[in-house]
Structure 1
């Protein structure tokens, strides 16, 4: 995959259609009374399950949770720890925020990500392209010894 490729819903490989549909449906459940910016996300795990999430805003804006993190935490809470693809849907096709990119990097080094609007038009990219240098514990990835 190139760093990012423009696509439409019709051009997506069939394996992405269920993910896109799940993200669009999750977006309908978003609680965004302050920004009006509704987001849905759908995550496919290595076992083939699709788990979705929506953003949930709070009057104390720092307590707001993004759709991507809701989907990831839902997957973790259901015993899924390996991810293979993510779709994020918003009206404008916005990319995941830095906090979501950091959370993703805790569980996967790279995965394809479709960032789309509500019609499925958007960009196919990857976590590595969006976030090439995450903050990681190198001892967990075999990079250095914990005693160095």
Structure 2
């Protein structure tokens, strides 16, 4: 094997992990936060693991990017939740070399993914992060059957008494 082939293979082996970064994160009650540095033509995704049988309210998701705005504007964000996919890319320039973006919150009982995509044409890496709060939705207890039966019988008895009084009058 010649040196050119070895160097080419090493370059590909080093570039592949940078091309697509993915992480699975446990969803926490309260504050959730993640960040990464994106190079041009790469993606990074975070899948939040929702425990089976639970439902969560996810607040609006706040994104911040640090870098030249010409590079930040090449980054799109996709939020995928149970078959619903929303894409965001309208960054609002901030002070210095920052920009912000906000995605709508949602309620979910399944895993969801936040993905960053940095399109080709960027000139430098960009540091991006997101944060949101998660609140578990408590189970709503059903009305117990014995209590429902007592309520029904009481209502019917009340209607019967009211009907008798109406006939006597």
- State the TM bucket, normalised to the shorter chain: 0.3 to 0.5
TM-score normalized by structure 1? Answer: 0.32
Q: Which has the higher contact order (CA 8 A, sep 6+)?
A: 2
Q: Which has the larger radius of gyration?
A: 2
Q: Which has the higher strand share?
A: 2
